[in-house]
Structure 1
Amino acid sequence: MARIRKGAAKPVPQFLEDDPSTGYLPGRPWPTVRYGLATLLVSALLVFAIEWIVRGDFFGTVDFFLQPFKPGWTTIIVFTLVLVGLDAVLGRSHQSLMIVAPLTLALAFVGHQKSHYLGDPLYPTDFLYARQIMALMPLLVRERPWTAVMLAAAIVGGLALLVYGWRTWRRRVPILSRKGRLARLALAVPLLAFFVSIMDYATFSWTRDRLQIIPIMWDQKENYASNGFALAFAMNVPMAHVSAPPGYSQKAMDAIQRSDVAASVPEEKPDIVVVMSESFWDPTRLPGVSIKPDPIPTVRALRSGSMFSPEFGGMTANIEFEALTGFSNAFLPAGSIPYQQYVRTPTPSLATFLKSEGYRARAIHPGTNWFWNRG
């Protein structure tokens, strides 16, 4: 038996010694095929796990992949290309899974929780609210301390396991050859670039249509259910940017004819108080519902007219925006929060108009002024 001098490289593991994907003995095709099939299988399992977590329904997830008009298999191919490309960047076979799997599975879990509690899928713009989540963390810890402890332990344990696996993999798995890395990049980068180029939901793509990717941007729940979590989430990435409509300009706006009808204004300006409460509503408006005695007789006697709320179960900031500005959110991408994404300069509103008429505009809120970027 040959002696191995101290400091010499360790022998290559047997399952890698004939594998050109690791840089050893290039030219044999079967190890490359094994690498490709293994990456494809891992991608399929990962995409299935993501959909299962988001949907919370095993048989519904199976049905998603079995239906030919759903892009489940397209998603698997995309994940395979991402893993292959990242392997080339990291320099080790299959190490990209240690990055992609935790991130995507965590996103899937967060998406399931949001859908469960708010009835709305997870959007990329939701991560703009990280500051609000951190501000609510002490309250969540106080309300559910053991849940917080278990969650913290799971995060720390998962990170420790990930670091250990990362270091072990880089120590035991040989570095990919330059030829192997270039081959992976040559395969993955052009195909991923082409895939990104056809994902503009505002334009028709014959290839995208053949891949069964049908953007349903007007109904995001159906969009996520039909296209799957990963593709629908990716399609929503550019939606935070709203392009100006054709023909829009300051000159075009100034050319719009103003009404010549003068508004009647009383000599003594009244005090104007606007109260908005997301928890206040009239259940008797529901068909077949009546309550005896009437819980709000005074409000019912004084009120005039009704307002249809554009949101339910949260997103009060959007209702405030519509009420104060008169601008509808219907023309904005689903999941948008104007205060967060679009209000960057002074915007005409009820408050600015009343101030121009000599009023002192005051806003009172029990929360902090940076919540939802209201301040």
Structure 2
Amino acid sequence: MTTYPKTARLMQRGADFLGSETAILCGAMSWVSERNLVSAISNAGGFGVIACGAMTPELLDREIAATRALTDKPFGVNLITMHPDLFELIAVCEKHAVGHVVLAGGIPPKGSVEAIKGGKNPAKVICFAPTLALAKKLLRSGADALVIEGMEAGGHIGPVSTSVLAQEMLPELAEDHLIFVAGGIGRGQAIAGYLEMGAAGVQLGTRFACAQESIAHPDFKKAFFRASARDAVASVQVDPRLPVIPVRALKNKGSEEFTAKQREVAGTLDREEIAMNEAQLQIEHYWAGALRRAVIDGDVETGSLMAGQSVGMLKEEEPVAAIIEKLMSQSEEALTRR
């Protein structure tokens, strides 16, 4: 960090909170953010985050242990708030003394924040905040830091762009709270801008998805390298009764199949065969399966190629350390020019 004094100074609060050299988090990407990529990011001075996704407590237990075997640096775990075994997953994180738990996918259920912060090995809680009102509520409810993520991001997204969220929320919150900015960040110049606005750090997912240490299938990575920003499109909600959070991914045959899946699930709701919670879980399981086909099996036609709009900036495989160094160097150059 001594090589990047201006960036380091602006990142200091975030880096101190995370316990990492830089305040660059890796967004949790199911099937991608596993032991190899997470440990590589933490070892390179960033902050890796395991994507628990639909894992069982037993699987998460093994994944945390395997990550610990590859790094002695801090890393976090991302948990989906609607997971039926959420409190068991929290207990697994406590067992391994995970220092930071990221809660994603909705408002944390009652008692979850307290469970994370109140055990024998209390952890810091990071939450996603799509609006200013919800950000304030989450902070009052015990969140130690927030991620504000714009619609340019890959995977599950909200309706507002990163640049607008940053302008709306950083002036209100950043002085007294730790706010990380995410969504569409692919270069260090953007990082410099958000840090100057008061962000404690940033989160990037797509930029790391095709790193050399990422286990993603070669065909998955090739699809990213060929794509432009406009190829990463948001899914369409078919039925207003089925509150499907839009997902940004590269357009392919799988995008069309998801539309058909929504119609199928909506039909079961019509017939009152399942409850709304079960309907949402079916959609989540669909995404988990489709994403696995793309990331692990290399099925780039019918699998889900979740990608942010920064995908157009990816042209080749690079080591994680080189990516972080490039981002920091670009940020420092931008701050120096100013």
TM-score, reference length from structure 2? 0.22
Structure showing the higher strand proportion among its residues: 2
Identify, as 1 or 2, the structure richer in helix: 1
Q: Which has the larger Rg?
A: 1
For normalisation by structure 1, the TM-score amounts to 0.20
